[in-house]
Chain A
Amino acid sequence: MTTPDPVTALGYVDPPPPGVLDAARETLWSAITREMLTTDPSDDQTVPQTARHPSPEPRARRRQSGPPDPGS
Chain B
Amino acid sequence: MTVEPETDGTLIQRSARGRPDAFVEVVRRHEVAVHGFLARRAGRQVAADLLGEVWVRAFAGRDGYDPAYADARPWLFGIARNVLRAHWRARQDANPAADRAEDPWDEVVDRLDSASRAPALVAAIAALPPAERDVLLLVAWEQLTPAQAALALGVPPGTARSRLHRARAALRLVLAEEKA
Q: Which residues of A contact B (CB under 8 A)?
A: 5-16, 20-21, 23-29, 31-32, 35-36, 41, 44, 46-47, 51-52, 58, 61-62, 65-66
Contacts and interface: CB of A to CB of B under 8 A. Distances in A.
Contact of B52 (A7, A8, A24): A24
Interface residues of B, number: 40
A32 B31 contact: no
B23 interface: yes
Given A11-B141, A24-B52, A25-B31, A16 B17 contact: no
Contact of A10 (B28, B35, B118): B118
Contacts, number: 115
B32 A21 contact: yes
Closest 5 CB pairs of A and B: A27-B52, A11-B141, A24-B51, A47-B18, A28-B55
Interface of B: 17-21, 23-24, 27-28, 31-32, 35-36, 39-40, 44, 47-48, 51-56, 59-60, 112-115, 118, 121-122, 125, 136-137, 140-141, 171, 175
A6 to B, nearest CB: 6
B137 A11 contact: yes
